[in-house]
Amino acid sequence: MNDKIIQIIPAPANMCYAFEDGKASPVTCLALVELSNGDREIHAMAIFNGGPIEDVCCTGAVLLNE
């Protein structure tokens, strides 16, 4: 995978993610990502368990607007 982060901006204050347990946590930032085929997407990023910032949607979480 040769995806490349082009830009990072803070996430809106009310943007959260949740897993099946329903506990909502804040999204840390939004990343403009250029995919290997040249397309661009916005990815929500968050800190999980005090670890590195990861892509929220790749973890099986869903995005919420609270």
Splitting the chain (66 residues) into consecutive groups of 10 residues, what average pLDDT does each group show?
A: 91 91 90 96 91 85 83
- Give me the pLDDT at residue 34, please: 96
- Name the residue range of residue 18's domain: 4-65
Q: Domain tally for the chain? A: 1
The structure's pTM equals 0.82
* Rounded Cα–Cα distance for residues 28 and 10 (Å): 7
- Give me the pLDDT at residue 17, please: 92
Q: Which residues contact 13 (CB under 8 A, 6 or more apart)?
A: 26
* Rounded Cα–Cα distance for residues 33 and 44 (Å): 10
